[in-house]
Amino acid sequence: NAGVTQTPKFRILKIGQSMTLQCTQDMNHNYMYWYRQDPGMGLKLIYYSVGAGITDKGEVPNGYNVSRSTTEDFPLRLELAAPSQTSVYFCASSYSRDSVAKNIQYFGAGTRLSVL
Amino acid sequence: GDSVTQMEGPVTLSEEAFLTINCTYTATGYPSLFWYVQYPGEGLQLLLKATKADDKGSNKGFEATYRKETTSFHLEKGSVQVSDSAVYFCALSPSRDTPLVFGKGTRLSVIA
């Protein structure tokens, strides 16, 4: 079972460059999330989506964009990379129908991004 | 707003020692509570959960009890192993339609 797959695993960007972090899940989950994890810190929610065509801002959305054209994919776009965006990025998904299981989130392995 | 506070790490224990990682929360209503674990180089994975007051979640020898009166969900294990070395996150789900709120995480190192 693939679960949540993130690519790439590592990336180094120069200031001002752009890139897209890919996230795909094969569990037919309605909800998907993007988090960033800074060293020694917890997770901060960037954006989330409750279904195809619907996205909402999280705690730290500035400098990022997302889209959700399919149930499976939820890419995260950095348009003008800045050193402050150096972090580890995690994508997660969860199922919505069951009110108990809904918020059990399944995480990808992460993308480690450095902006220099 | 809703928040989770965990004890700061790192926590270093010898193998077979007893583990407690404190977690308290602030939330309106009746949230569900979770513990996630992150092993080195990996994403987070669910360790255990509790959905209502006095529920006890358990998995892999870890336990946590949902205490509404003290707004706590402390993680415990009677005898830790080196393989338990990881970062542990406490989290809450405010309602069925809102994302999880995570604590800052507690790094546990177990030495042989």
Segment A33-88, tens digit of pLDDT = 999 998 877 889 999 998 999 999 999 999 999 999 999 999 999 999 999 999 99
Q: How far is B83 from chain A (nearest CA, A)?
A: 19
Helix (H, G, I), strand (E, B) or coil at B35: strand
Over range B10-32, report the average pLDDT.
94
d(C-alpha A55, C-alpha A33), whole Å: 9
Reading the block at residue A17, the tokens are: 């460059």
Helix (H, G, I), strand (E, B) or coil at A3: coil
Cβ(B95)–Cβ(B29) below 8 Å: yes
Per-residue pLDDT at A22 exceeds 70? yes
Model pLDDT, residue B8: 84
Over range B86-93, report the average pLDDT.
94
Reading the block at residue A10, the tokens are: 């590592």
Cis check: omega of the bond before B99, within 30 degrees of 0: no
- Mean of the per-residue pLDDT values for chain B? 93
Over range B58-84, report the average pLDDT.
97
Q: For the beta carbon of residue A107, count every other beta carbon within 10 angstroms.
A: 22
Helix (H, G, I), strand (E, B) or coil at B45: strand
Model pLDDT, residue A95: 79
Model pLDDT, residue A2: 75
Reading the block at residue A41, the tokens are: 């810190």
State whether A48 and B93 contact (CB < 8 Å): no
Set of chain A residues whose Cβ sits within 8 Å of the Cβ of B34: 103-104
Over range B67-87, report the average pLDDT.
96
Model pLDDT, residue B34: 95
Cα–Cα separations (whole angstroms), residue B24 to B47, B49, B74, B94? 17, 14, 8, 14
Q: What are phi and psi of B28, to 5 degrees?
A: -90, 150
Chain B nearest-CA residue for A100:
B51
Cβ(B20)–Cβ(B112) below 8 Å: no
Model pLDDT, residue A101: 61
**What share of chain A in percent tops pLDDT 70?**
93
**What share of chain A in percent tops pLDDT 90?**
75
Reading the block at residue B101, the tokens are: 């709120």
Set of chain A residues whose Cβ sits within 8 Å of the Cβ of B102: 42-43
Residue carrying the six token digits 């989130």: A105
Per-residue pLDDT at A98 exceeds 80? no
Q: Which of B89, B99, B103 sits opposite A58 (nearest CB)?
A: B99
Confidence class of residue A28 from pLDDT cuts 50, 70 and 90? confident
